[in-house]
Amino acid sequence: MPAIAGLASCGRVLSDLLRTGLVLSGVLLTPMVNRLHAQNRYAQPTSSQYQHPAVVGPSTSNQHPGSESYRFPPAVAGQVSPAAIPNTALPHQPRAISSLTPPPTARQVLQSYPAAIQQALNSANQNGIGEAGFSPIAYLHAYPQDLLSGGATGDLLDSAADDSVLNSMGPAAGGNRTGANTPANQIPGAGHGTDAASREGVPDGVDPHAEVFAEGCYPSAMTCAKCHKKIYDEWRVSAHAYAAVSPMFHKFEQAITQLSTGTVGTFCMRCHAPVAMQMNFPRDGSVLDAPQVIREGVTCVACHRVIEAYGRVHGERRIEPGPLQAPVYGSIGGDGVAKAIAEKDDYKIKIDPNDKSPGQEIHLQAFRFEQLSSSGFCQACHQVAVHPGIALEVVWAQYRASPACKKGISCQDCHMGRVPGKAQGYTVGAAAEMSGKSVSQDRKHSNHIFYGPGNSIAHPGIFPHNEKALRWNTDQWLSFDWRAGWGTKEFEKALADKQIQVQFPKFWDSADERMDARKVLDENFELLGIKRASAISVMEAGSQIEGPFYATRPTLGQDLKLHFNVKNASEGHNNPSGSLGAQPQLWLNVVLTGPNGQWLWESGYLDGNGDLANQHSLQVTQGVIPPDTQLFNLQTQFITTGVKGPDREMYLPVNVDIDQLPFLRPGNIPVSVLNHPPFIRMEQKSIPPLGMKKARYEIPGNLLCQPGTYRISVRMRSRMEPIYFMRFCNATPEMERRMLEQTIDLHPYAVEFNIPSYR
């Protein structure tokens, strides 16, 4: 009986500490309602090994791949260079495809904690959290079962014992982490998920005939591409097409589902996978096993089969089911369809679904749906709030208060028009093309790439969508090592000449298969390049950097104060905006180089994990690198009220301090009273439309000790998720690497100033 009481007490102690979070000695124990993990990520360099990322080339230490900062070119007298030179020779990190090491047990985790953490756990007991005279650490050493990772008692913090709440919502639970036991000097909570796929066959609850049923009610975009190829090619690399296959979306959704004990419900899936919602696709089924139209996220029918004008409904819109021949709804009308049907023999189309003769099937009617061409259509998914009222998407509210709205400029005018981010009209083109003949060539053409800042971190064989890629299933694509060069002429020649030896997965033993797959990847890389260019264009259209402006004349040996004006050139919404739940980062990177081209000073640099050097950097908290005390970062963050102490940042809008059962439910105080939900608020640092903020810097005078020409280089950097947040959501190392590679640089330029030898 005492043993049972002690076990329950220890469980309560650890559960309370995990739910409330704990900051000790600069270490944040993230309050995930999940297993403790302390996997050794990558070996962290010691303080003596640290070199500033702006000075060194590719690190020879075991640093996170892709995390090196990019160097600005060395100063040359009289030359101003706007370009930054990337360190492209990134160290290759092998990824485990098999032989996965089991995750550490809770005992191993606790034994590896710094002494300060163990003291905190013991003091928690002494302060009355546990029973009198009971030590959680001592009990863990004595008790034969692992409290947090199963055993005879089950997992106290995992919902596997009673998962009825989670059975029918979102992606499947899981997320095992791999890695060896954590060394004593490793910070807990820095583990990852696995990169290997582990599904076989059709999961339970998934209808094996779902593909046929889906196509009969919700035609795939690939079906629409037969007549609308130009629109399809734009769409298939867009954020809408990426919505349901984004690895980060699924990690995010899983994290908030577990943290909220399933009470987030279908909130995320409504917008990211609307067809899955309407087909009632089971939560424990992987989207990669779903019909193609589900994997397409915000696909054609998600907009063009909607016939009701919805408002702010948090993604809950009805898609009209029907076969390919059913009506579609657009911004113009059905003249083009009527013309094609009237000349069906010339266009080689057939209008009878029972007609077995050759010919292209089409939809038989098209109607004008007025809301589709207005900003109001976008608000259903781009202005959403999760209980207890915290807004994860706020762009519609920002637009409603913007100069663009007052001028009658719509979302579509800037995000689907001729120029990314600018309301400068639309191009014209054919409505459709059948049998090589165009229909209505002078129609207004809305670009379905939907200009925006995001870029894919998925495997390039899975996204962009490519009909040729369906020759291989998703598990086969995930085992294709595109980074190693499989299928390229150079790789295959080196393999044939026995210069390299590779043990391939069984399916990729054939060189012909690898080379055919590489052709698909080459097509997809070209599309991804177009998407990246459009992301840079729209971000540069909506932002501006001016400066530097010096508060004092640059003088030998004296501190130099300067600032840049960072402007939001957009009339439509804040910058950054969009999905604030993902906490997109937009920051300034400023570097000072000396007369001999030597690096002297920098703000906006990254640590060895790819994080900004602020309070979220594990290397800053360990003292491995200095904190960036002058960082200019426009990232929005969630702030929660603590039971004791000041407010603190929380990665997700779930107040685990106030709520011992952190359910997402309506607040008991109206949002209109406090202007934010009870005990949760959003600290917004973005710049309003046509607004401006000053980025102020002070360079120590002891760095300006040599007469000559100095250079200040500046660029704005943007990425969709911070790396620490990806780790919180159990992202894999490959996901983090892809995010670092997809960071985009905006407005890079450099200016020079001269410091004479006299004061």
Token pair for residue 403? 């100069």
Q: What is the pLDDT of residue 637?
A: 84
Q: What is the pLDDT of residue 740?
A: 95
Query: Residue 673's pLDDT band (boundaries 50, 70, 90)?
Result: low
Token pair for residue 584? 């997109």
Cα dist from 138 to 115, 123, 159, whole Å: 14, 13, 26
Higher pLDDT, 194 or 293: 293
Q: Is the dihedral of CA 506, 509, 513, 519 positive or negative?
A: positive
Q: 104-118, 216-230, 498-512, 633-647: which has the minimum mean pLDDT?
A: 104-118
Place of tokens 């039971």: 643
Cα dist from 577 to 270, 375, 382, 425, 542, whole Å: 20, 16, 10, 23, 11
Residues 360, 349: contact at Cβ < 8 Å?
yes
d(CA 288, CA 485): 24
The percent helix, strand, coil of the chain (3-state, each to 5) is 30, 15, 55
Query: Residue 204's pLDDT band (boundaries 50, 70, 90)?
Result: low
Q: What is the pLDDT of residue 561?
A: 97
d(CA 456, CA 532): 9
Q: What is the pLDDT of residue 465?
A: 96
Residues 277, 221: contact at Cβ < 8 Å?
no
**Three-state DSSP class for 618?**
helix
Q: What is the pLDDT of residue 446?
A: 95
d(CA 392, CA 403): 23
pLDDT at 84 over 70: no
- Amino acid 393 reads E
Q: 191-200, 372-381, 413-422, 495-504: which has the minimum mean pLDDT?
A: 191-200
Helix (H) or strand (E) holding 562: strand 560-568
Which of 109-123, 578-592, 619-633 has maximum average pLDDT? 619-633
Cα dist from 372 to 306, 330, 367, 711, whole Å: 9, 7, 11, 50
Region of residue 568 (left: phi > 0; alpha: psi -120 to 50; beta: else): beta
Give residue-wise pLDDT tens across range 237-257.
Answer: 999 999 999 999 999 999 988
Separation of first and last alpha carbons in the chain: 81
d(CA 273, CA 277): 7
Query: Residue 354's pLDDT band (boundaries 50, 70, 90)?
Result: confident
Q: 653-657, 714-718, 755-759: which has the minimum mean pLDDT?
A: 653-657
Closest Cα partner for 625 from 33, 46, 13? 46
Q: Which residues contact 295 (CB under 8 A, 6 or more apart)?
A: 244, 245, 287, 288, 465
d(CA 402, CA 574): 9
Q: What is the pLDDT of residue 79?
A: 31
Cα dist from 757 to 378, 550, 554, 557, 561, whole Å: 60, 19, 11, 10, 19
What DSSP string describes 189-253?
T-----S-----SSPTT--TTHHHHHHHHS--HHHHTTT-HHHHHHHTTSHHHHTTT-HHHHHHH
- Mean pLDDT of all residues belonging to the chain: 76
Kindly provide the residue ranges of all beta strands, DSSP E only, lying in 448-513, ordered along the sequence. none
Q: What is the mean pLDDT of residues 680-685?
A: 81
Q: What is the mean pLDDT of residues 452-480?
A: 95
Neighbour tally for 683: CB within 10 Å: 11
Interstrand relation of 349-350 and 360-361 (parallel, antiparallel or unpaired): parallel
Q: 363-367, 436-440, 565-569: which has the minimum mean pLDDT?
A: 436-440
Region of residue 97 (left: phi > 0; alpha: psi -120 to 50; beta: else): alpha
Residues 438, 424: contact at Cβ < 8 Å?
no
For 412-418, which contacts have Cβ atoms below 8 Å and span 24 or more sequence positions? 412/373, 412/374, 412/375, 412/446, 414/451, 414/570, 414/572, 415/450, 415/451, 415/452, 415/538, 416/446, 416/447, 416/448, 416/450, 416/451, 417/446, 417/447, 418/447
> CA triplet 453, 455, 459: central angle to 5 degrees?
170
* Residue 582 per-residue DSSP state: G
Cα 289 to its chain centre, rounded Å, is 22
Helix (H) or strand (E) holding 478: helix 474-478
d(CA 178, CA 193): 7
d(CA 587, CA 590): 10
pLDDT at 156 over 60: no
Give residue-wise pLDDT tens across range 474-499.
Answer: 999 999 999 999 999 999 999 999 99
Give residue-wise pLDDT tens across range 551-573.
Answer: 989 999 999 999 999 999 999 99
Query: Residue 663's pLDDT band (boundaries 50, 70, 90)?
Result: confident
Place of tokens 């990824």: 95
Q: 124-133, 195-204, 384-393, 493-502: which has the minimum mean pLDDT?
A: 124-133
Region of residue 80 (left: phi > 0; alpha: psi -120 to 50; beta: else): beta
CB-based burial label for 60 (10 Å; 0-12, 13-18, 19+): exposed
Query: Residue 638's pLDDT band (boundaries 50, 70, 90)?
Result: confident
d(CA 138, CA 319): 58
Query: Residue 182's pLDDT band (boundaries 50, 70, 90)?
Result: very low
Query: Residue 80's pLDDT band (boundaries 50, 70, 90)?
Result: very low
The pTM is what?
A: 0.74
